[in-house]
Amino acid sequence: MKKIEINRLSDYLKKTYGTKVYKLPLDGGFSCPNRKNSNGCIFCSESGSGEFTFNEYSIKDQVELQIKRLSEKKKADKFIAYFQSFTNTYKPVNELRKIYSDAIENKNVLVLDIATRGDCLDDEKIKLLSEINKKVDVWVEMGLQSTKNSTIDLINRAYSNEVYFDMAKKLMDNGIKVISHVIAGLPYESEDDFLESVYQTQKHDIWGIKIHSLYIQTDSRLYDYYQQNKFKILTMDEYTDWVVDSFKILNEDTVVHRMTGDAYKPKLYLPKWSCDKLKVISEINSKIKTYNT
């Protein structure tokens, strides 16, 4: 039996850059075309899945403020400029160039990490990212969530798997690292459905993966859907089993960026266990250890 060996992001960063590297959450004032056209993905909250940012400041000032905050707390000195909220390529190229350039101006920023949609990239934007990739490493995160067509329709992802993986290939062909987000526990999905989604990321040689637990926030359309359709919510034991099983099919060089989601406690409806991230990760690690012995 082959042991589970995870290529964790923290290990990858230390091996690649020789030190611990910290994310700087930045807000570029982006929105989302899917929200404008069809109310957005069903699970998305009002804030667009963003972290703590200084969004009232310029990008340069946000970088400096976040560096100051992290340096005081953790003595950090190497960073990832991280655009997470909404669709961070959803502006004209000339505006993107300014935003990204400001984000990487500080010499201690080693990576530009951009979350976006596969249908919000084109050749011109990829060319820009390729140019930046010669200065700092560029990562592009895209929300696959699932490859099951009925689920894609239900969650309103609003573009096909073909578009997703075609765009991922274009990015990778330009030397840009791609990270896929996959959700475990989506409505009416089995473990096999989830594992198939993970498998497809491996089949297409995606560099990194973020695995999320499905959680329902009160400010999402999923909350309203759940009131009418009481679909099964995974227990923590089930979720951690699924995650461990998914690790068995990962390519050995796939970088694991995340093992669970980050629920916002004040607006979390279900499942309550999802707000205890450290406990979930501890359970996953414990199950991996048991499997390997």
Q: Could you tell me the CATH number of the domain that includes residue 32?
A: 3.20.20.70
Q: Name the band, by pLDDT with cuts 50, 70 and 90, for residue 32.
A: confident
Q: What is the pLDDT of residue 39?
A: 78
CA angle 79, 26, 33 (to 5 degrees): 135
Q: How far from the centroid of its chain's Cα atoms is residue 282's Cα? A: 20
Question: What's the Cα-to-Cα distance from 93 to each of 96, 97, 101, 127, 128, rounded to whole Å?
Answer: 5, 6, 12, 10, 8
Q: What is the pLDDT of residue 49?
A: 56
Residue 86, domain member (yes or no)? yes
Residues written for the chain? 293
Could you tell me where the DSSP H helices lie in 25-92? Answer: 33-38, 59-74
Report the C-alpha gap between 252 and 265 in whole angstroms. 34
pLDDT, one tens digit per residue, over 114-157 is: 999 999 999 999 999 999 999 999 999 999 999 999 999 999 89
For the segment 177-194, the average pLDDT, to the nearest whole number, is 99
Q: What is the pLDDT of residue 47?
A: 61
Residue 165, domain member (yes or no)? yes
Q: Name the band, by pLDDT with cuts 50, 70 and 90, for residue 38.
A: confident
Would you state the structure tokens that stand for residue 59, as one six-digit string? 């990008």
pLDDT, one tens digit per residue, over 225-279 is: 999 999 999 999 999 999 999 999 999 999 999 999 888 899 999 999 999 999 9
Inform me whether the pLDDT recorded for 168 exceeds 70.
yes
What's the alpha-carbon Rg for the chain, to the nearest Å? 19
Cis peptide before 271 (omega within 30 of 0): yes
Q: Name the band, by pLDDT with cuts 50, 70 and 90, for residue 48.
A: low
The mean of the pLDDT values for the chain is 95
Inform me whether the pLDDT recorded for 50 exceeds 60.
no
Would you state the structure tokens that stand for residue 126, as one six-digit string? 């990829």
pLDDT, one tens digit per residue, over 206-216 is: 999 999 999 99
3-class DSSP state of 255: strand
Residue of 29, 20, 24, 21 whose CA lies nearest to 103: 24
pLDDT, one tens digit per residue, over 58-107 is: 999 999 999 999 999 888 999 999 999 899 999 999 999 999 999 999 99
Residue 197, domain member (yes or no)? yes
Report the C-alpha gap between 181 and 234 in whole angstroms. 18
| Longest CA span, the chain | 54
Strands 216-217 and 268-270: antiparallel
Q: What is the pLDDT of residue 169?
A: 99
Q: What is the pLDDT of residue 272?
A: 96
Q: Name the band, by pLDDT with cuts 50, 70 and 90, for residue 287.
A: very high
- Per DSSP, the residues of 68-84 read HHHHHHH----EEEEE-
Residue 2, domain member (yes or no)? no
Q: What is the pLDDT of residue 12?
A: 99
Name the domain count of the chain: 1
Q: What is the pLDDT of residue 46?
A: 66
Residue 1, domain member (yes or no)? no
Under a CB-based contact definition with an 8 Å cutoff, are residues 202 and 251 in contact? yes
Inform me whether the pLDDT recorded for 51 exceeds 60.
no
Q: What is the pLDDT of residue 75?
A: 84
Inform me whether the pLDDT recorded for 53 exceeds 80.
no
Strands 109-116 and 137-145: parallel
Q: Name the band, by pLDDT with cuts 50, 70 and 90, for residue 27.
A: very high
Q: Name the band, by pLDDT with cuts 50, 70 and 90, for residue 200.
A: very high
Inform me whether the pLDDT recorded for 52 exceeds 90.
no
Domain of 258 in residue numbering reads as 7-292
